[in-house]
Chains A and B, each alone.
Chain A
Amino acid sequence: MGLITHEAVPGVVTTSLRRLLNWSRKSSLWYMLFGIACCAIEMMATGASRYDFDRFGMIFRASPRQSDLMIVPGTVNEKMADRVKVLYDQMAEPRWVLAMGGCAINGGPYHGEYNIVDGVDKVIPVDVYVPGCPPRPEALMHGVLLLQDKIMREGIEIPAPARR
Chain B
Amino acid sequence: MSEHEATTIPEHLQPVAAALRDRYPDLSITPKPGDWLEVKVEADASPEFFRYIKDTPGLGFDYLLDVTAVDYINEGKLQVVYHLARMGADARKRGKLVVKVDVPRDNARVRTVVDIWPTADFLEREVYDMFGVVFEGHPDLRRILMREDWVGHPLRKDYVDHRPKRTRVTR
Contact = CB atoms under 8 A, between A and B. Distances in A.
Contacts of B154: 114-115
Contacts of A125: 169-171
B168 interface: yes
Interface of B: 145-147, 150, 154, 159, 161, 163, 166-171
Contacts, number: 27
A157 B138 CA distance: 65
Interface stretch (A20-28, A56-64, A116-124, A140-148): A116-124
A114 B169 contact: no
Interface of B is mostly: loop
Interface of A: 78-79, 114-115, 117-119, 121-125
17 contacts: A78-B146, A78-B150, A79-B146, A79-B147, A114-B159, A114-B161, A115-B146, A115-B154, A119-B168, A121-B169, A122-B166, A122-B167, A122-B168, A123-B166, A123-B169, A125-B169, A125-B170
Given A78-B147, A114-B161, A115-B154, A124 B169 contact: yes
Given A78-B146, A115-B154, A122-B168, 19 more contacts: A78-B150, A78-B163, A79-B146, A79-B147, A114-B154, A114-B159, A114-B161, A115-B145, A115-B146, A117-B166, A118-B166, A119-B168, A121-B168, A122-B169, A123-B169, A124-B169, A125-B169, A125-B170, A125-B171
